[in-house]
Amino acid sequence: MAEKPTQTLDEVTIRFAGDSGDGMQLTGTQFTNTTALLGNDLSTLPDYPAEIRAPQGTLFGVSGFQIHFGSKEIHTPGDQCDVLVAMNSAALKVNLGSLVDGGAVIANSDGFNDRNLKLAGYASNPLKDGSLEKYRVFEVDITKLTALALQDLNLSSKIVDRSKNFFALGMMYWMYNRPIDSTVNWLTKKFGSKPEIAEANVRVLKAGWNYGETTEIFAVRYQVGPAKLPPGKYRNITGNQATAWGLMAAAKKAKLDLFLGSYPITPASDILHELAIYKQFGVKTFQAEDEIAGITSAIGASYGGALGTTTTSGPGLALKSEALGLAVMVELPLVCVNVQRGGPSTGLPTKTEQADLFQALFGRNGEAPIPVLAASTPADCFDTVFEASRIALKYMTPVIFLSDGYLGNGSEPWLIPDFDKLPDISPTFRTNPEGFLPYMRNEATLARPWAIPGTPGLEHRIGGLEKQNITGNVSYDPVNHETMVKLRTEKVERIANEIPPIDVDGEKDGELVVIGWGSTYGAIRSAVTKTRERGKKVSQIHLRYLNPMPKNLGDVLSKFKNVLVPEMNLGQLSGVLRMRYLVPTIPLDKVQGLPFKAVEIEKKIAEILKG
Amino acid sequence: MSQLVDEAIKSVTSEPVKYSSKDFQSDQDVRWCPGCGDYSILAQTQRILPDLGVPRHKMVFVSGIGCSSRFPYYMKTYGFHSIHGRATAIASGLKLARPDLTVWVVTGDGDGMSIGGNHFIHLLRRNIDIKVLLFNNQIYGLTKGQYSPTSEKGKITKSTPFGSLDYPFNPAALALGSSASFVARTLDRDPKHMQAVLKRAAEHKGTSFVEIYQNCNVFNDGAFFRFTEKDTKDDNVVFIEHGKPLVFGKEHNKGIRLNGFTPEVVSLADGKYSVNDLLVHNETDTTLSFILADMTYKSHLPRPVGIFLANDRPCYDEEMTKQIETARQKRGDGDMKKLLNSGETWVIN
């Protein structure tokens, strides 16, 4: 048979969607790894329900995974997908809105039987009734083809059914010209003790690939070349993995043991899982009885001279508030990771949001200043949490590191850093009993000495009651209280002396600057790039340091006529900027549990620039 | 323990010191109410610490909030007066990070049983090597007199003018139900007994739990006088001792006998029963410990005081250290550079 024609594309977005038990996250992750190995730039967005195994075929049980990859720079998981792989009718119904006009639907026809159609609320079969006219529809009986591929293996119908995602993966590998080796290796390793399952999955994967090759329904296949990324060695990494590794790297560079006190919570648990693996690094993970014990055990560990850390998501941060105040008062280093999710209350556990900025900045009783840093991309979690750890150790303070569900679960190619070049951040423990007082301070940083139990002659008491300046004894003196409140505030403010001044991307003054923080980076970047491609001028600022803010930020913002602040909340950074710098910001808010689409920001930019 | 911590604590040399109780008194004025039972507990603790052979700088007292939780300020050791109910969790993190330290927790019936109840039970089941002293005065003292989780039902307080509806916790039974490995009860007004119990608690490997009946002479005066005062004590308390029959009473003429699983008071005076018929305490018998602890609120039985259970069970902290050692033996010391470069990687030129 003649080779099918190949068309070259510079970017593609694919969405895999099926039941939450269909293995869509796994399929997406495999496609991502293979794509990363080919040198494409990429960005991913897992989108899954809170239920582990929601009833089959239902709309709320649909799990999706979107990957945007290309031979050019990729900043977001893609506003819309070009290809939708729908394993059943519910998956089609839930995701059709994100498919571009003219996009491709690859539908598992077995998932469109009467029962499935009814569960998805379709009165008639959309594959047959013409309602998908504006899309290119490819019907493939994936269930049946999978069963055929495995018919001589005598496997249970459950195992056969569970393999069908690999058929879809195989087809997509064929369609986008990707080798299957990496997935084959992964399967062989993963199911080492169950070779029959490994074989079944490999066979189905190959069947899917071969189906693409031989079937007449696919007329073309596509080629997406490698991206021009800076030279070096790359790996793919999710935000949660980068956070875990960043903490480990920080502990190593601090020459301290890493202690994590944590209570499982979506979407932060993967950091706990990751850190629990690395016993040989001396990492101590403690799955505590609750969020409060998570943070307080970490404070106990810090008191003992470890790098104490705790990981959580929004509701958990609320529970940790009082303990954060204690850490402020006793002035011990602590890194508190908040992988934000939709709130309030239990909210949207598996969806992303940035609505905990106020909670991080202000959510404590009393004047309790805490440095707050936010990562902007999955890989940036490594650098930002490392920096958070550095600040915590140098200034003897708790630090809140903000990530979110999108960053935590999303992934991107990462230029592996040279570990030797990361700075030494090791603290100096106080050991000299001569003249020691627990609340004396370093002149430059205002940090108090870290005097750990076990050091002869430094026996002292700390606690949550107000401290007398310098001696650390309990004090109810009114003037002393004000002195201490101000000292603790100034200590945090002094961090601004050493953080880099904010750098504007684009013109340093003009009509419009778009300022963001956290995971909106990619969408803002894309929107700004596209606006500039249209010949318009727009500048961009992205904040890593939310408290304290870079010293020059107020001046920088004052040079622009308009300051647009896109956020996945109701204008929290926008409010902070108004409060601190009296700038008339324009908020652009989205609270749908999903990241911004670049086009949403681009539209707002166009509106402000009047075209 | 990291190299940096190890270097720091070894950088200052210290000679072994023969301590006296005075060496454990800090320079802070003790600010409990005059006549408070806490004074006795502080004194007995300071009395037994010199005998432990642990240098002062290796000891840490962690507390929560409440009258009892002021304790660390008065100890010339390391101390951490933390937040309400969380001392057990802070101590857990500290001990896991620093197994070389001797960690004590001082808590009360409100701090430990109410707001900190969750951390308390989980510490016990994990059996981290921490000594917990619970000062039980059956009242909230620092907040000026509300009923506590150990107050008797029907108690009239400021917050329960019509009598409390809460059934009280029995801390010893709660501890046993949490799989504690060492559970004891002692009395603020019996210094000798307290010293003996504290010493045993200190020597026990694993979580030691000591409930101390402590008189709050301001808000709940006399709550335990039945068990502590000379004329009533003997008939209302049975001191349980390992290997010894449960005898009590002014004339040592009463005892506890098991009728099936139910303890009952028998007279040794009327010739029907002898000491040989009595229940003999075995502090390593978990089943027996439950039966004894369950005597606590039964008005027809004397109040059991002493060591209910002292059992050896693996400690969480030791097992955590072992897991790390094993991983290092098997996989070698963690190499961050290697880890960053592990898995599937690709090179762009």
DSSP state of A379: T
pLDDT value, residue A4: 82
The answer to whether residue B4 sits within a structural domain is no
CB nearest A257 (choices: B92, B97, B118): B97
Q: Are both B195 and B254 inside the same structural domain?
A: no
By C-alpha distance, the chain B residue nearest A324 is B83
Separation of CA A28 from chain center? 16
Min Cα distance A601 → chain B (Å) is 32
In chain A, positions 203-242, which contact chain B (CB-CB < 8 Å)? 226, 229-236
Whether B289 has a pLDDT exceeding 80, the answer reads yes
CB nearest A452 (choices: B5, B72, B347): B5
Name the residue range of residue B275's domain: 245-280
Are A463 and B80 in contact by the 8 Å Cβ rule? The answer is yes
For helices A142-149 and A195-214, angle between their N-to-C axes, nearest 10 degrees: 120
Best mutation site among B3, B5, B13, B317 for testing chain A: the one with the most A CBs within 10 Å?
Answer: B5
A261 touches chain B (CB under 8 A): yes
Separation of CA A267 from chain center? 9
- Percentage of chain B surpassing pLDDT 70? 100
Compute the distance between CA of residue B158 and CA of residue B161 in angstroms, rounded to an integer. 6
CB nearest A463 (choices: B12, B81, B331): B81
The count of residues in chain B is 349
Whether B14 has a pLDDT exceeding 90, the answer reads no
The answer to whether residue B3 sits within a structural domain is no
Whether B15 has a pLDDT exceeding 60, the answer reads yes
The answer to whether residue B228 sits within a structural domain is yes
The answer to whether residue B232 sits within a structural domain is yes
Compute the distance between CA of residue B94 and CA of residue B59 in angstroms, rounded to an integer. 11
DSSP reduced 3-state for A284:
strand
Min Cα distance A162 → chain B (Å) is 25
Min Cα distance B72 → chain A (Å) is 7
Q: Which residues in chain B touch residue A454, judged by CB atoms under 8 angstroms apart?
A: 5, 8-9, 57-58, 98, 100-101
**What residue has token string 């210094």?**
B191
User: B327 to each of B71, B119, B324, how far by Cα in Å?
Assistant: 40, 29, 5
Judged by CB atoms closer than 8 Å, whether chains meet at B28 and A281 is answered as no
Min Cα distance A410 → chain B (Å) is 17
**C-beta neighbour count of B47 within 10 angstroms:** 17
Kindly compute the dihedral angle of the four CA atoms of residues A280, B89, B38, B149, in this order, to the nearest 10 degrees.
-150
Residues A317, A321, A322, A328, CA torsion sign: positive
DSSP reduced 3-state for A99:
strand
Compute the distance between CA of residue B65 and CA of residue B81 in angstroms, rounded to an integer. 7
Burial class (CB in 10 A: 0-12, 13-18, 19+), A52: exposed
Whether B13 has a pLDDT exceeding 90, the answer reads no
Are A540 and A506 in contact by the 8 Å Cβ rule? The answer is yes
Compute the distance between CA of residue B246 and CA of residue B268 in angstroms, rounded to an integer. 11
Best mutation site among B15, B86, B121 for testing chain A: the one with the most A CBs within 10 Å?
Answer: B86
Residue (of A389, A306, A463, A271) closest to B93 by Cα position: A306
Q: Which residues in chain B touch residue A256, judged by CB atoms under 8 angstroms apart?
A: 2, 4-5
Compute the distance between CA of residue A453 and CA of residue A401 in angstroms, rounded to an integer. 27
Q: Are both B105 and B179 inside the same structural domain?
A: yes
Low-confidence ranges of chain A (pLDDT < 50): 1
Backbone angles phi, psi at A412, to 5 degrees: -160, 160
Interface confidence, given as ipTM, is: 0.98
- Start-end of H helices in A96-194: 114-120, 142-149, 157-162, 164-175, 181-190
Are A309 and A336 in contact by the 8 Å Cβ rule? The answer is yes
Q: Are both B215 and B255 inside the same structural domain?
A: no
Q: Which residues in chain B touch residue A432, judged by CB atoms under 8 angstroms apart?
A: 12
pLDDT value, residue A219: 87
DSSP reduced 3-state for B65:
coil
A192 touches chain B (CB under 8 A): no
pLDDT tens digits, one per residue of A366-390: 999 999 999 999 999 999 999 999 9
Residues A419, A422, A428, A429, CA torsion sign: negative
CB nearest B341 (choices: A182, A299, A416): A416
CB nearest A459 (choices: B56, B97, B346): B56
Domain of residue B27, CATH code: 3.40.50.970
Q: Are both B110 and B186 inside the same structural domain?
A: yes
Best mutation site among B1, B4, B128 for testing chain A: the one with the most A CBs within 10 Å?
Answer: B4
Paired tokens of A88: 């059943």
DSSP conformation letters of B109-127: HHIIIIITHHHHHHHHHHT
Q: Which residues in chain B touch residue A465, judged by CB atoms under 8 angstroms apart?
A: 81
B141 HSE (CA, 13 A, CB side): 27
**C-beta neighbour count of B310 within 10 angstroms:** 19
The answer to whether residue B2 sits within a structural domain is no
Please enumerate in sequence order all residues whose Cβ is within 8 A of that of A285, keeping only pairs 6 or more positions apart, or say none.
A260, A262, A272, A275, A276
Judged by CB atoms closer than 8 Å, whether chains meet at A233 and B347 is answered as yes
CB nearest A465 (choices: B1, B14, B81): B81
Summarize the confidence of residues B305-309 as an average pLDDT: 98
Are A292 and A261 in contact by the 8 Å Cβ rule? The answer is no
Q: How many domains does chain B have?
A: 2
CB nearest B1 (choices: A257, A296, A456): A257
CB nearest B344 (choices: A182, A308, A459): A182
Whether B194 has a pLDDT exceeding 90, the answer reads yes
**What residue has token string 């002898």?**
B274
Judged by CB atoms closer than 8 Å, whether chains meet at A286 and B93 is answered as yes
Judged by CB atoms closer than 8 Å, whether chains meet at A280 and B333 is answered as yes
Amino acid type, A498 = E
Judged by CB atoms closer than 8 Å, whether chains meet at B100 and A454 is answered as yes
Q: Are both B236 and B259 inside the same structural domain?
A: no
Compute the distance between CA of residue A543 and CA of residue A553 in angstroms, rounded to an integer. 10
CA-based end-to-end distance of chain A: 51
User: A475 to each of A133, A397, A487, B82, B147, how far by Cα in Å?
Assistant: 76, 21, 15, 15, 29
Are B235 and B249 in contact by the 8 Å Cβ rule? The answer is yes
pLDDT value, residue A127: 95
Partner residues linked to A505 by β-bridges: A540
pLDDT tens digits, one per residue of B201-255: 999 999 999 999 999 999 999 999 999 999 999 999 999 999 999 999 999 999 9
Compute the distance between CA of residue A563 and CA of residue A586 in angstroms, rounded to an integer. 6
The answer to whether residue B60 sits within a structural domain is yes
CA angle A146-A147-A150, nearest 5°? Answer: 90
DSSP conformation letters of B38-52: HHHHHHHHHHHGGGG
Partner residues linked to B59 by β-bridges: B102
Q: Are both B80 and B141 inside the same structural domain?
A: yes
Whether B293 has a pLDDT exceeding 60, the answer reads yes
Domains of chain A: 6-224 (3.40.920.10), 235-421 (3.40.50.970), 510-608 (3.40.50.920)
**C-beta neighbour count of B232 within 10 angstroms:** 13
DSSP reduced 3-state for A250:
helix
Q: Are both B253 and B302 inside the same structural domain?
A: no
Burial class (CB in 10 A: 0-12, 13-18, 19+), A5: exposed
Each residue of A526-551: b (16+ CB within 10 Å) or e? bbbebbeeeeeebbbbbbbbbbbbbe
By C-alpha distance, the chain A residue nearest B345 is A235
Please give the helix or strand (H or E) that residue B136 lies within, else none.
strand B130-136
For helices A181-190 and A195-214, angle between their N-to-C axes, nearest 10 degrees: 160
pLDDT value, residue A3: 74
Please enumerate in sequence order all residues whose Cβ is within 8 A of that of A363, keeping only pairs 6 or more positions apart, or say none.
A317, A318, A321
**What residue has token string 């239920």?**
A51
User: A181 to each of A286, A377, B344, how far by Cα in Å?
Assistant: 38, 28, 12
Q: Are both B34 and B135 inside the same structural domain?
A: yes
By C-alpha distance, the chain B residue nearest A245 is B340
pLDDT value, residue B138: 97
Are B60 and B208 in contact by the 8 Å Cβ rule? The answer is no
A593 HSE (CA, 13 A, CB side): 15
Compute the distance between CA of residue A389 and CA of residue A258 in angstroms, rounded to an integer. 11
Residues B220, B224, B228, B231, CA torsion sign: positive
- Start-end of H helices in A176-278: 181-190, 195-214, 239-254, 269-277
pLDDT value, residue A2: 58
pLDDT value, residue A48: 81
Compute the distance between CA of residue A379 and CA of residue A388 in angstroms, rounded to an integer. 15
Judged by CB atoms closer than 8 Å, whether chains meet at B93 and A300 is answered as yes
Backbone angles phi, psi at B263, to 5 degrees: -75, 140
Judged by CB atoms closer than 8 Å, whether chains meet at A234 and B81 is answered as no
Judged by CB atoms closer than 8 Å, whether chains meet at A289 and B78 is answered as no
B255 HSE (CA, 13 A, CB side): 23
The count of residues in chain A is 611
Paired tokens of A241: 């993995």
Each residue of B217-227: b (16+ CB within 10 Å) or e? ebbbeebbeeb
Q: Are both B104 and B64 inside the same structural domain?
A: yes
Q: Are both B251 and B139 inside the same structural domain?
A: no
Instruction: Report chain B's mean pLDDT, rounded to a whole number.
Output: 97
CB nearest A304 (choices: B55, B77, B94): B94
Compute the distance between CA of residue B195 and CA of residue B189 in angstroms, rounded to an integer. 11
Q: Are both B22 and B85 inside the same structural domain?
A: yes
Judged by CB atoms closer than 8 Å, whether chains meet at B339 and A248 is answered as yes
Paired tokens of A191: 């199911």
Please give the helix or strand (H or E) that residue A63 lies within, else none.
strand A62-70
Summarize the confidence of residues B74-95 as an average pLDDT: 98
Compute the distance between CA of residue B287 and CA of residue A180 in angstroms, rounded to an integer. 61
Beta-carbon contacts below 8 Å between A and B? 252
The answer to whether residue B81 sits within a structural domain is yes
Best mutation site among A256, A280, A431 for testing chain B: the one with the most B CBs within 10 Å?
Answer: A280
**What residue has token string 């290309």?**
A70
DSSP state of A194: -
Judged by CB atoms closer than 8 Å, whether chains meet at B78 and A284 is answered as no
Whether B313 has a pLDDT exceeding 80, the answer reads yes
The answer to whether residue B217 sits within a structural domain is yes
Q: Are both B196 and B255 inside the same structural domain?
A: no
pLDDT tens digits, one per residue of A165-224: 999 999 999 999 999 999 999 999 999 999 999 999 999 999 999 999 999 888 889 999
Confidence of residue B41 (pLDDT cuts 50, 70, 90): very high
A254 touches chain B (CB under 8 A): yes
DSSP state of A511: E
- The beta strands (E) that lie in chain B are given as 59-63, 78-81, 102-108, 130-136, 182-187, 208-213, 237-240, 247-248, 254-259, 262-267, 303-310, 345-348
